[in-house]
Amino acid sequence: MPLLRSAHWSPALYLMIRGRRPSPPPHHPQPPPTNTPGPVLTPDAAVSTPVTQTRTTLTVWIPPEIWAASESGQATFNAQLNAYRAEHPDLDIQVEPKASTGQGGILSYLLTGRTIAPGALPDLVALPADQLTAATTDSLVYALDDTITASYLEDMYPAGLTLATVGEKMMGYPFFLTQPPHLAYDSTIFTTTVPLTWTEFIALPDQHLAFAAGGLPGATLLLEMYLDNGGLLMNEAGQVELQVEPLAAALQQISDGRTTGFILPQSSNMQTLEDSWQAFQSGQGSFVQTTANQYLRQRDAARPFSPALIPGREEPLSPLVSGWVWAISTPDVAKRPLTADLLTFLIENENLGQWSHQSRFLPARQGAFFYWPTDDPYVPFISDQLLAADAQPFPPTHPVMVALTNAVFDVVSLAKSPQLAAEAAVAALNP
């Protein structure tokens, strides 16, 4: 699939990972932590002890929505850090929750802190992968190329490497991947195999698809379909660009689904995954566009729904994923090996697997799934999806995503033909 990979990641690293898909590691997991939530620990109570003159302090900044995504996930993370500190009595580990975006976000603090209060800067930070280029440009994080051993790269999902690499350097380590799109369907209503091609899918009798055609999920679906139709994202000059012909072809596929009544007309009024899921739950549609993150949350309700691939032109679409990375941010050269050792501990398959399962996140390493329940039917489905996934090339607010959102809305609301909507989207990027 022709994404922006060549401009953002190391071909050597990519070939190492794409060249072979490793055999699963032996399954010798430790008993996973209980799902019974314990008390939510505060940063100080959870992971730090009084600092003495002989101790080195390592400070970790992590957004609260990641650290405390669930009570059991937070307890697992805290327990892992406590275990690490017990093995390293010369270290004090402090965790500080920081916002992921905005003026009070991690990047903002890193940028201002290096001149105002360099002694207060963290050693290890958790960042959205789409912030890694900015962090690298401003010299706020440091390359991991000589820090992470090959064994930690061999079972990484390929899209994770793309997300973590800036130019030719690995600037962070992806620890979980987010938002891979797929379908969910009511398995009591639709009881046969979901077609793998779009033409067959929208021809299913008495079935309906709900998706957020008025928001980012619709734009993501269109981007995947655009790439499936051979669309490119850059011109020969290296500038971001969309092409009218493959975009019009992708929009025609959506228009065909709308014309036949397979796509719910009210999809144009849906802007979020929550909107379309509500329509699905109310019985308006037997299929819904969802993501792994939403599916993991909703499946706890024990409703009779199942996951399925999103059909494409000739085969299922390749999902686009985002993610989060650990990055070393300490300017102290002497502390970087210590920080790298802590990072390595956190991304070990057992630790990453137990934490990601408790937090309902998708680990960026294949081996981490061996520490999820062995009878979970979703694991083989989503692991195959992650192997086929590409890195989402644009953040949500990028002009490309805005233009695609408008194009999907115009077609599903019948405001424009696929051709006119495609021309308008391309023109919006080159006014």
Which pair of tokens denotes residue 372? Answer: 């999820």
**Tens of pLDDT, residues 223-268:** 999 999 999 999 999 999 999 999 999 999 999 999 999 999 999 9
Over 187-220, what HEC string results? CCCCCCCCCCEHHHHCCCCCCCEECCCCCHHHHH
* Amino acid 6: pLDDT: 34
- Same-fold call for 5-171+321-388 versus 181-319+393-429: yes
* Amino acid 58: pLDDT: 98
CA distance 231 to 235: 11
Q: Quick one: 111 exposed, middle or buried, by C-beta within 10 A (0-12, 13-18, 19+)?
A: middle
181, 312 Cβ separation under 8 angstroms: no
**Tens of pLDDT, residues 65-108:** 999 999 999 999 999 999 999 999 999 999 999 999 988 899 99
* Amino acid 35: pLDDT: 43
Classify domain 5-171+321-388 at the CATH superfamily level.
Periplasmic binding protein-like II (3.40.190.10)
What is the reported pTM? Answer: 0.86
Alpha-carbon torsion, ordered 123, 124, 129, 130, to 10 deg: -30
Could you tell me which of 56, 368, 30, 308 has the C-alpha nearest to residue 185?
308
Q: Average pLDDT of the chain?
A: 89
Beta bridge mates, 210: 288
The model's confidence at residue 53, banded by pLDDT at 50, 70 and 90, is low
Q: Where are the domains of the chain?
A: 5-171+321-388, 181-319+393-429
> If one looks up domain 181-319+393-429 in CATH, what number appears?
3.40.190.10
Which pair of tokens denotes residue 383? Answer: 């692991």
Residue 27 reports pLDDT greater than 50: no
* Amino acid 39: pLDDT: 38
In terms of C-beta distances under 8 Å and separation of at least 24 residues, what long-range contacts does 335-338 make, across chains too? 335/56, 335/58, 335/123, 336/142, 336/147, 337/147, 338/56, 338/58, 338/91, 338/123
Residue 20: Cβ within 10 Å count = 9
